[in-house]
Structure formats: C-alpha cells, structure tokens
Amino acid sequence: MHAMDVEERVAESAAEGGAEKRAYVRTVFEQIAPRYDLLNHLLSLNIDRIWRRRALEELAWTNAPEGRYLDLCAGTLDVGAELSRRPGFRGFILGADFAVPMLRAGLGKAPPSVLAPVAADAQQLPLADGSVQGATVAFGIRNVASLDRGLAEVYRVLAPGARFVILEFTTPRSTVVRTLYHFYFHHLLPLIGGVISGHRTAYKYLPRSVANFPAEGALARRMSEAGFAEVRWTSLTFGIAAIHVGLKPVS
C-alpha cells in the first residue's frame, strides 16, 4: 500500500472518530500551525471573523467583565484575542489546546496579562471545578476524540450560571447550497489547503470530520445530556456554520 493511501485511510478513520483521532489531530495541527491563520481567513473569505464575533456576543461576558474565561481548542488564539479587544472587557482568558505549535503561532495577539495559552487536552482540563465564568470553542469541538468527555469537562469547570458557546461547521439543509458547499468543501478546499499548508490530508480530514459530526439538533441533545440547560442554536451563512449555546444551571 502506498504511503498516500495509508495517510488517506488514517485521516478517514480519524474523521469517523477512530482510535487514531487524538494522535492524528494533534500531529496535523502541529504541522499546519505556520499557515493556519492564513488558510482560515483565505478559505472562508474572512467570514470566520464575523462568525467569531457573533459567538462572543452569545457568551454574555458583559455579565462578568472581570471574570476568567476559557477558549477551548484555542488554536492560534483568535477567539481569545477578539474577546480581549471587546470594549469594557477587564477579565482574563485561558486559551487551551494540546497542539503547542498552534498556541505559539498565536502569541502576541493579546497581552499575556489578558490572554494566556495553556497546553491542555479538552478531555482533561487543568482547571478547578466551577472556576470559569464562560467558555467558548470555535471549530474545534468536532476534533475532540470524545465529544461527550469534552462536554463534561467544560460543564465541570464552568461556574453555575455561566455559558458555553460552540461555533462549528454544519451541513446546509438547502439542496442548492449543499451542492455548492460540498463541491467547495470536498474538492476546492482540500486542493488549496493542501498546496498552501504542504500537508497532504489535513484539508481532506476537515470536510470528512464535519460530515461525521452530529447535526445541530443532535449536538444540542448531547449538550443537554451533559447537563447544560436552555440549549439553543442559530444557523449562520446559509447553514454553513452554527452557534450552540448552553447554560450551566444554578443549583
């Protein structure tokens, strides 16, 4: 079997949640870190910036502007940096990711007194119970090896009354939009991403991981099963992405 065939099979297995997922995701994001920001903005036509701002609006951080916040699967710290720039924000943000080169690539986007990178696995966070006033994850929850363990960890570290906001890709419901989306996502994106990143399978894994991730309603149910209350979601840009919001109940 050719090396390319092996890589393709590993990527496909990881996207389906196979045993290789954790190791594959970590290795891939370590390797594409230098070009990650460029590709994110290029491949999304900068719409990702608007989506992140919308997600932060749902975080309701103004209820605790001096609080401590968690950005899970933080990557190059874009979400934390955006939150740090919000007028009136006086809190502190922890950007957690297990791919350290991604965190390093984001250093300098915000003062270290406001935003700190933390090398940590989403399934085992080095934080005390009820220690953060809100949490976000942008385009990363589908990469966690166990979705349910990841949700449980976020629930554990959230303070009662705090919100968890998920921004993630989805599959459009409209037949026309879905057809165009699939053509771009499964053909153009892997081609452009592969050439610029220099990684053979990273941008083939991405659409496969989205296809294998729970749809909006199913993700909402999983959040509810993890203990979150008042779970709701909002579709973005013709259903290409969605924001889910859940609340940790006040006992």
Residue-by-residue pLDDT tens, the chain, 251 positions: 444 455 666 667 766 776 678 888 888 888 887 777 877 777 677 898 999 999 999 999 999 999 999 999 999 999 999 999 999 999 999 999 999 999 999 999 999 999 999 999 999 999 999 999 999 999 999 999 999 999 999 999 999 999 999 999 999 989 999 899 888 877 887 788 777 777 767 778 888 888 889 999 999 999 999 999 999 999 999 999 999 999 999 97
- For residues 135 and 162, the answer to whether their CB atoms sit within 8 Å is yes
CATH superfamily for domain 3-247: Vaccinia Virus protein VP39 (3.40.50.150)
In this prediction the pTM is 0.91
CB 203 within 8 A of CB 189: yes
* Interatomic CA distance for residues 59 and 57, integer angstroms: 5
Residue with tokens 């700190």, as numbered in its chain: 116
Alpha-carbon distance of 25 to 33, in angstroms, equals: 12
Which contacts of 3-8 are long-range, i.e. CB under 8 A and separated by 24 or more positions? 4/200, 7/200, 7/201, 8/201, 8/204
Sign, Cα dihedral of 188, 193, 198, 204:
negative
Identify whether the C-beta of residue 172 lies closer than 8 Å to the C-beta of residue 240.
yes
